[in-house]
Structure 1
Amino acid sequence: MPDAKEVVENGQPEEKPKLKPCCACPETKKARDACIMENGEEKCGDLIEAHKQCMRDMGFNI
């Protein structure tokens, strides 16, 4: 059995995240955090969503 894969209920392998959530997507995380600090969370929805999508693309269940 490959060590980076896990079989899920439907029988398809699922990639496990290789990074910790704190270390994934540093570019989008930095932009999101800076926007929130300067403008408040309510004005940074696009950057928040971009970071969430990056995390999903990296294999995290966000």
Structure 2
Amino acid sequence: MGWFTSSSPTPAQPAVVNQPLTPNNLASDLKPEKTEKVKPCCVCKDEKSRRDECMLFSQSDDPQEDCKSLVSQYKDCMSGFGFKI
């Protein structure tokens, strides 16, 4: 064959790197990624604002009793992120 051939050369196979098994890399792909801890000011913003609005602008004689359900929702939301109120 000359220089005008229809077949292309085959690419070289990539080299496979085998690392020795050590305790540091045995299950590295199974480990969960590190998640950053959230700050309490950055979660449950909607629940907090509804709770605050209710407490501040309540026309009731006992705003604490009037807004009890919203306070409970806020506490449940915060406990879902690991905060204890």
Q: What TM-score results when the alignment is normalised by the length of structure 1?
A: 0.65
Equivalent pairs counted in the alignment come to 50
User: Shift of the alpha carbon at 1:61?
Assistant: 2.0
Greater CA radius of gyration, 1 or 2? 2
Task: Name the CA distance, whole Å, in 1 between partners of 2:51 and 2:64.
Answer: 9
For structure 2, which runs of at least 5 residues remain unmatched after alignment?
Answer: 1-32
Counterpart for residue 54 of structure 2: 35
1:25 aligned onto 2:48:
no
Answer 1 or 2: higher relative contact order, Cα 8 Å, separation at least 6: 1
User: Shift of the alpha carbon at 1:3?
Assistant: 5.3
CA displacement, residues 17-46 of structure 1 (integer Å, 9 cap, x when unaligned):
822212210010011001001112231000
Name the SS for the 2:72 alignment partner.
helix
Higher helix share: 1
1:46 aligned onto 2:69:
yes
Q: Which runs of 4+ in 1 moved over 2 A?
A: none
Moved more, 48-57 or 34-43: 34-43
Higher strand share: 1
CA RMSD of aligned residues (A): 2.1
Q: What TM-score results when the alignment is normalised by the length of structure 2?
A: 0.49
Counterpart for residue 7 of structure 2: none
